[in-house]
Structure 1
Amino acid sequence: MSFVAALAVKSVINNNINCNVKFKWPNDLMIDLKKVSGILLEPTDDKKAIIIGIGINLISNPEIKGNFWKSTNLYDVSGFKLIPENLSLELLEQIINFVNIWYEQGFEYIKALWLKNVLFLKQELHSTDLKNRVIGKFLGIDDLGQMIIKDKTNNSLNISSGTFIPINQ
């Protein structure tokens, strides 16, 4: 569901300003390698629903010390002050749109749309926050949304969480 939400957020941003939004696995949206949005999913206690939390930096952005990625906001990128209420309505419409696409065309289609706009595909990455450091080439995502990494011994690893950065940075 985070991929559906990411596609919806990207669509809303692109409908309102001219910029190149990219995805950073697993749940961030970036403009010029700066984080502009993040998505969190939490299941309800009974596991019958998912709560989707979406943050979009409209006119300000946090500067997080010790974080590899800088952040930005849509006002700094575009010079436009976007109206939160309008964006919220548009975002709900786009989430419904992409849920319908998922329902009609399957996750493979959603995955393909997401992969067209993901950062660092086919690049060497390394983990920054896992106990066992992972280094390898980012090959894509599996049907559960896990990152597929091919390590230097040619093993494929499916990673469910973590922060990865390009090896040369």
Structure 2
Amino acid sequence: MVSEQMKIISFETIDSTNEYAKKISSESEDFTVIWAKRQTEGKGRLNRRWESPEGGLWISVILKPEFFSSLLSFIPALAVVKTLKEFGIVSKLKWPNDILVSEKKISGILLEKNSDAAIIGIGLNVNIEKINTNNWTSMSMETGKKFNLRKVLDILIENIEHYYMLYEKKEFLKIRLEWKENSSTLGKFVIVETVSGTFYGKAIDIDENGFLVMDNGKKINSGDIVHLR
């Protein structure tokens, strides 16, 4: 059951749930959720545009953890995987923040720090049949069914709450191991583009900080990744 103390602020249309969350984060309680049926200026990593039409689930969660770590982004990622599984959809995690079904993107995560708050943006393609981008899928496309967005939201929030509690209890090993069990990246040869250069190699592990570990010992904390094989 979704926590009774949690607050959901909903919009029919908004520019960006993450931007709104930043504006209200200082006076908001821990675990405040902003939900929009449509975003006009949704964004992903590196300020890339994230197309957010009606039919998708576009939310931002304001968290106020005791401390910050890149493992925070594992919380929503694992929650999405668990949510999709409850609807009969098997998904995998692409480091650092994408959720894939058969190597097609169904969801993305954006983690931003704003003063004492972590703003976690989640985009999940639910009842979407067309987006102007390549290599994507949706819950409806995978199953041939339409879903009640509020039901998907409630289950997703329950799962976020579950992993957030593990994080606050410092159960980092449990979070990391579950991420690794659901990884699509580990074991593959990859190309990773970072601000300091482009790296090629085999992705072999995720360390205690959430960094990607390559077979040459290189550890990468952030970047764009391409799976090769």
TM-score, normalized by length of structure 1?
A: 0.84
For the 8 Å contact 1:127–1:134, the answer to whether it is kept is: yes
Secondary structure at the aligned position of 1:43 is classed as strand
Q: Spell out, residue by residue over 1:76-126, the C-alpha distance to the aligned partner (whole angstroms, 9 max, x if none).
A: 001121111111121111111112233446111100001001013122211
Does 2:217 correspond to 1:162?
no
Structure 1 unaligned regions, length at least 5:
none
Does 2:109 correspond to 1:39?
yes
Does 2:84 correspond to 1:23?
no
Does 2:176 correspond to 1:111?
yes
Does 2:71 correspond to 1:3?
no
Pairing of 1:93-132 with structure 2 (within 5 A): 93-104=158-169, 106-128=171-193, 132=197
Tell me how far apart the structure 1 counterparts of residues 164 and 81 of structure 2 sit (CA, whole Å): 14
Give how far 1:166 is off: 3.0
For the 8 Å contact 1:27–1:40, the answer to whether it is kept is: yes
Give how far 1:163 is off: 1.9
Tell me how far apart the structure 2 counterparts of residues 150 and 15 of structure 1 sit (CA, whole Å): 34
Secondary structure at the aligned position of 1:134 is classed as strand
For the 8 Å contact 1:22–1:31, the answer to whether it is kept is: yes
Secondary structure at the aligned position of 1:133 is classed as strand
Secondary structure at the aligned position of 2:198 is classed as coil
Structure 2 unaligned regions, length at least 5:
1-71
Tell me how far apart the structure 2 counterparts of residues 74 and 93 of structure 1 sit (CA, whole Å): 19
Pick from 70, 74, 87: which aligns with 2:152? 87
Give how far 1:129 is off: 6.1
> Over aligned residues, Cα RMSD in angstroms?
1.8
- Report what 2:131 is aligned to: 62
- Report what 2:58 is aligned to: none
Pick from 193, 199, 202: which aligns with 1:134? 199
For the 8 Å contact 2:190–2:200, the answer to whether it is kept is: yes
Give how far 1:131 is off: 5.6
> How many pairs does the alignment contain?
157
Give how far 1:128 is off: 4.7
Tell me how far apart the structure 1 counterparts of residues 93 and 105 of structure 2 sit (CA, whole Å): 9
Give how far 1:11 is off: 1.0
Tell me how far apart the structure 2 counterparts of residues 25 and 120 of structure 1 sit (CA, whole Å): 6
Instruction: Specify whether residues 114 and 33 from structure 1 end up closer, same or farther in structure 2 by C-alpha distance, changes over 3 A only.
Output: same
Tell me how far apart the structure 2 counterparts of residues 92 and 120 of structure 1 sit (CA, whole Å): 25
TM-score, normalized by length of structure 2?
A: 0.64
